[in-house]
Amino acid sequence: MEDCHVAGYHIPKGTRLFVNAWKLHRDPSVWSDPEDFQLERFLTSHANLDVLGQHFELIPFGSGRRSCPGSPWP
């Protein structure tokens, strides 16, 4: 573990961080009409969304060691 910088912020080694999934899933720079449920968005414009990778537009299964055991295995 080591210190790092993320988006201009200094994160000291050992700092506990929490991901705000609510904000990620409602980011208007990623999702058009983010407050509306639109199932078709996952069939068309975001059909190739990588929910298990390093692109965190959507993290329905969590991430890392504590991710959902029911998530699809790569």
The 8-class DSSP code of residue 67 comes to S
Q: How far apart are CA 71 and CA 4, in angstroms?
A: 29
Q: Is 68 annotated as a binding residue?
A: yes
Torsion of CA 39, 40, 43, 47, to 10 degrees: -80
How many Cα atoms within 13 Å fall on the side-chain side of residue 22? 1
Q: Which two tokens stand for residue 73?
A: 């295995």
Q: Which segments are annotated as binding site for heme?
A: 68
Q: Which residue positions form the known binding site?
A: 68
